[in-house]
Amino acid sequence: MAVFLALLIPFGSIAARDLLNVRILSKDDILRHTTIPIVGEIGHNKKGDNLVVTTESRSAIAEQFRALRTNLQFFMVPGKENAILLTSSMSGEGKSFTALNLAAVFAISGKKVVMIELDLRKPNLSAKLGLSSGFGITNYILNEKITPADIIVQSWVNENLFIISSGPIVPNPAETIMSERMEALIEQLKKDFDYVILDAPPIGLVTDAQLLSRHADLTLYLARQKYTFKKQLDIAEELYQKNMISKLGFVINDIDLSSGYGYGYGYGYGYGAYGEYGNEDSQDNSKWSWVRRIFKRKS
């Protein structure tokens, strides 16, 4: 009986914890619920900056965005596919943050990139760059005298990075997205730029992202550790299984390794060369760094 209880209690507690927890905690939660490939994994943004990727940045999270850029080469045909749409299940999962830094990591590699703020209900991308969203897409759609050149703004981040803001909030975002001028604009941008990043609203709340996905060559579905509900993964899986979105991949955001996520790519975590400060002795690199320093002194 004692042996039986010794086995039952730990296994029972693990099973109960898994049953009661309704949010994503580990990589296994995603692999069990979907067949969608995981394209990238982004760690927790300790400093809270909107822009973590610059020419000089060598932080762990910057390296993870560089890894994402590399991984995307296996999902897209270079020179033929260049439109990437970002969506999620609900707000707060890091779409705009990921869109901005993904665009930045392409721009610093010499690619000409344009970001389009297409969350016409709750725009957030322009604000992350300290720009106004008051003039942009909706102005272009509603006024035929306005040209694409009128709404494209070069960002301060990099000479290769441009942005098109959302413009004034309109009462009919879905119909605005479906307009012929929207289609013509995106097709022209795909010709003029190496990459077109479409920052769309959450697909779990409105249909806008699904309408926009026909313009995209790849859709990145954001999920956030300890935030996204496991049940919401079914939304992405249904879209994937029914071929409602042609190419779909997960990006897992805000990963906290201390919670036992099971990090797969290893960029920046557990490797001193990719530590937060590029030094394996950094206090932020590992809670055991002080132990390593003691043994170094002795050696």
Residue whose structure tokens are 């390794």:
257
d(CA 180, CA 259): 47
Class of domain 24-263: alpha beta
In the numeric block, the tokens 């697909």 are attached to 203
Length reported for the chain = 299
- Separation of alpha carbons 34 and 31, rounded Å: 6
**Whether residue 283 has pLDDT greater than 80:** no
Which residues have CB under 8 Å from 176's CB, separation 6+? Answer: 120, 137, 138, 141, 142, 170, 182
Please report, for the chain, the start and end positions of each structural domain, with discontinuous segments joined by +: 24-263, 269-299
Which tens digits make up the pLDDT trace of 225-273?
999 999 999 999 999 999 888 799 999 999 986 655 554 443 333 333 3
Count the alpha carbons within 13 Å of 141 in the hemisphere toward its beta carbon: 24
At residue 282, the pLDDT reads: 33
Tens digit of each residue's pLDDT (9 = 90 or more) over 89-144: 999 999 999 999 999 999 999 999 999 999 999 999 999 999 999 999 999 999 99
Q: How confident is the model at residue 77 (pLDDT cuts 50, 70, 90)?
A: confident
8 A C-beta contact, residue 169 and residue 69: no
CA dist., res. 112 & res. 284, Å (int): 34
